[in-house]
Every structure is written in structure tokens, then in C-alpha cells.
């Protein structure tokens, strides 16, 4: 409403101040002001909409966190029917508690990442064997090329199987 009053004031000012302005020029000025007004109103509505969405999401997250904190802790191990001890799987726990939609989706993404990768450790080991005290003057490009050549057969087989 305040912006509408500002628009009316500007239009009134144009009409009062510019008595020698042609009606076409005055119409263009008024349309330009109306256009600015419309853009400002639309932008304000978008900002209000984003703020409401953020508030809703924050409320959902807070409710899920409260529900999560009220759940019993995940035991590290459980006994089967035949009295053998089995370690619990956190992914199974989150599957059972999928009513916590936001938290369970985040937990599943984090927990499914493997802790280490043997192939990456192998590459670091090979790089350590290539870059030794005797080869300290190797450029990074040369060292990369040597490590790549060591695994070229595997890379070639992989490329052939995918083509």
C-alpha cells in the first residue's frame, strides 16, 4: 500500500510539474513508473515466498530433530535368535525410521560412502614408488605420466569393455 501511494505521488508530480510536456511523453513516464512499481511488487512477493519456504523447511527440520532425539539409541550389537552377536547396521536403522524423511535421506547419503578405497590406496602407493629420493627432479607431468603408464593395461581393458 505504501508503494502504491508513492506511485500515485510520482504520477501527480509529473502532471503538476510538467505542464509543457506532451501527453504522449507523460503517458510514457507514467507507464515507466507503473512498470517499476510492478517489478518491485513482484520481487517483494518472491522474497516473501522464499522466506515462507525457508521458515517451513526450518520448522520441518526442527520437528524431525526433536523426534530423532526422542528415539532410543542404536545399539552397537544385537543378539540373534540363536544367541550369536551381530553388529547393527546404521543404514537398516534409518530404513526402519524413514518417517524422518529429511534426516534419513541425509544419513543414507553420508553412510553409504565407503571409508576407504583400495584402488585409491594402490595409486598412492604406486606414485610413492615412482617418486623416490633418486627421482626428485621429476616434473609433476612426468610423474603423472609414469603412474598412468604403469596402469595403462588396466585402462586399455576398461576402455575396450565400455566401447
For the stretch 47-86, pLDDT in tens is 666 666 777 778 888 888 898 889 888 778 878 788 777 7
pLDDT of residue 141 exceeding 80: yes
- CB proximity list for 87: less than 8 A, separation 6 or greater: 76, 77
The residue among 14, 36, 9 whose CA lies nearest residue 26 is: 14
Q: For the chain, give every domain's residue range.
A: 2-68, 73-111, 118-162
Mean pLDDT of 20-40: 63
User: What would the grid cell of residue 115 be?
Assistant: 571409508
Judged against a pLDDT cut of 60, whether residue 157 lies above it is answered with yes
- Longest Cα–Cα distance of the chain, Å, equals 100
Q: 3-class DSSP state for residue 68?
A: helix
Range of lowest pLDDT (40-44, 69-73, 102-106, 136-140): 40-44
For residue 20, pLDDT over 60 is answered with no
Distance CA 49, CA 64 (A): 23
Distance CA 146, CA 123 (A): 11
Check residue 121 and give its pLDDT: 76
Helices 23-69 and 2-17: crossing angle in degrees, nearest 10, is 170
User: What are the pLDDT digits (tens) for 75-129?
Assistant: 788 787 887 777 778 888 888 888 888 888 888 888 877 666 667 777 778 888 8
On the question of pLDDT at 21 being above 80, the answer is no
- How far apart are the C-alpha atoms of 140 and 145, rounded to whole Å? 9
If 0-12 CB within 10 Å is exposed, 13-18 middle and 19+ buried, where does residue 2 land? exposed
Amino acid at each position: 500500500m505504501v508503494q502504491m501511494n508513492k506511485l500515485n505521488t510520482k504520477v501527480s508530480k509529473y502532471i503538476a510539474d510538467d505542464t509543457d510536456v506532451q501527453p504522449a511523453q507523460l503517458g510514457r513516464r507514467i507507464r515507466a513508473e507503473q512498470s517499476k512499481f510492478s517489478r518491485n511488487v513482484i520481487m517483494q512477493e518472491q522474497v516473501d515466498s522464499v522466506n515462507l519456504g525457508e521458515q517451513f523447511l526450518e520448522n520441518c527440520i526442527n520437528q524431525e530433530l526433536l523426534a530423532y532425539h526422542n528415539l532410543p539409541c542404536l545399539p552397537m550389537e544385537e543378539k540373534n535368535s540363536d544367541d550369536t552377536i551381530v553388529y547393527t547396521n546404521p543404514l537398516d536403522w534409518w530404513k526402519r525410521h524413514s518417517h524422518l524423511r529429511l534426516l534419513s535421506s541425509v544419513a543414507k547419503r553420508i553412510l553409504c560412502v565407503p571409508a576407504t578405497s583400495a584402488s585409491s590406496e594402490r595409486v598412492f602407493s604406486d606414485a610413492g614408488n615412482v617418486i623416490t629420493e633418486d627421482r626428485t627432479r621429476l616434473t609433476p607431468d612426468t610423474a603423472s605420466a609414469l603412474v598412468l603408464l604403469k596402469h595403462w593395461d588396466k585402462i586399455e581393458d576398461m576402455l575396450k569393455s565400455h566401447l
